[in-house]
Structure 1
Amino acid sequence: MKKAELRKLYLEKRKALSQDEVLALSDRIFENFVNYFKPLPEQKVHVFIPIEKFNEIRTDIFVTYFLSRNVRVFVPKIVETKLIAVEIFSDTKFEAGSWGISEPVSNEDSKIVDFDYIITPLLYCDKKGNRVGYGKGFYDAFFETVSKDSKKIGVNYFDPDDMIDDVWENDIPLDYLVTPADVLSFLDGC
């Protein structure tokens, strides 16, 4: 299927989820992430803040867990047309950004490039790690700037079934996908 078709299909599937389902599935995704990757103190994790109206994975449980265990947490913020990584702490102040996403007030880019994990939003991911986002290319551009050792991890409610027919040359695939049922690796061409 083409990205536009998959984007529409998976937006509709996500919109059909109740808030109870979003919370339960997010909890299972979080548990799978922690059990598989076992994040350690002082590791650096970049994690998105969800767009709640699109029923994105609730990453607040990730952030709370990381901060309580001295894992360094960075969140994306769009400044002009670029995605930057802002480090956050338990007392960081947030405000609604242009996309209606809660963002840190600070515009200070951490300039960190060696993240241990980059927890990445998506609408769909195929069996090769190719992802469908919202079509703005922010994460592909961001992936170009980080260390090749940074693990790019998608989180999604749905398993990869259909292949993406229109993968572009500049698309950067994920290394892993975490779903409520499993953690899939794409590192060995699986």
Structure 2
Amino acid sequence: MTTKKDIRKHFLEQRLNLDESAAARLNAALLEQVLRIDFSPYRYAHVFLPILEKKEADTWPVIDALKVRYPQLNWVLSRSDMQAGTMEHLLWTPATTLAQNKFGITEPQNGEAVDLSLIDVVFVPMLAFDTSGHRVGYGKGMYDRFLKQCRPDVQTIGLSLFEPIAAIPETDAFDVPLRIVVTPEKIYHFNNED
């Protein structure tokens, strides 16, 4: 695995090859780890909804559990314009209508735009990460651009079904390393201060 493209392909295949029971076990363990984090200081949490066909980390149980444990949290979802490479961020309320786009991503169809300065914590999707907190996503760079627009102190939490690799090659100034990555086995903390 010498390039990001190789890493992306390898981990997507590894995830797709998980059988249902293995995926369920990993997601249950991932939830247990997430619940070890204290979300009481936060008011606005940005979260992705999983592309279940790609066996992404299942955020639905995470959201359900955190809504019960931390009722003060306001939840924010994004809607992407893949052609423009931009994301719009909307408050998720009982009035929000969700629908899948053509890429299988469940997104809000309506809602109030959220000022990015309000966002305290962002759950970040990924295919792989390394021991420095760098991640490999799907290659569009949309989350990196989004994270650069957030406050410098925003808490970034990557969710990965797999443990880290030693190093991701080809990282550059456009890549935003994560502060925390949660796996089914443990919570990794990275000192990635700007």
Distance in 1 separating the partners of 2:124 and 2:54: 15
Change in 2 beyond 3 A, CA 1:42/1:10: closer
Q: 1:109 to 1:81 in 2, by over 3 A?
A: farther
Assess if the C-alpha contact under 8 Å between 2:157 and 2:180 holds in 1: yes
Structure 1 residue 97, shift from structure 2 partner: 1.5
Query: Does residue 1:154 correspond to 2:158, yes or no?
Result: yes
Question: 2:136 matched to which residue of 1?
Answer: 132
Which piece of structure 1 moves more, 14-23 or 41-50?
A: 41-50
Contact in 1 for aligned 2:42/2:121 (Cα 8 Å): no
**TM-score, normalised via structure 1 length:** 0.91
Q: Which residue in the other structure is 1:45 paired with?
A: 45
Identity of aligned residues (%): 27
CA contact (8 A) 1:118 1:151 kept: yes
| TM-score normalised to structure 2 length | 0.89
Q: Distance in 1 between matches of 2:192 and 2:109?
A: 40
Unaligned ranges ≥5, structure 2: none
| Separation in 1, partners of 2:96, 2:21 | 28
Structure 1 runs (4+) deviating above 4 angstroms are none
The question of 1:123 aligning with 2:124 is answered no
* CA distance in 2 between partners of 1:184 and 1:102 (Å): 28
Does residue 165 (structure 1) correspond to residue 166 (structure 2)? The answer is no
Alignment of 1:53-68 (within 5 A): 53-68=53-68
Q: Give, in angstroms, the shift of residue 112 of structure 1.
A: 3.0
Question: 1: distance between equivalents of 2:25 and 2:4?
Answer: 27
Structure 1 counterpart of 2:23: 22
Distance across 2 between alignment mates of 1:42 and 1:160: 27
Instruction: List gaps (5 residues or longer) in structure 1.
Output: none
Helix, strand or coil for the counterpart of 2:116? coil
2:76 is aligned to 74
How many pairs does the alignment contain? 188
How far apart in 1 are the matches of 2:154 and 2:184?
23
* SS of equivalent to 1:113: helix
Q: In the aligned structure 2, how far is the partner of 1:49 from the partner of 1:174? A: 19
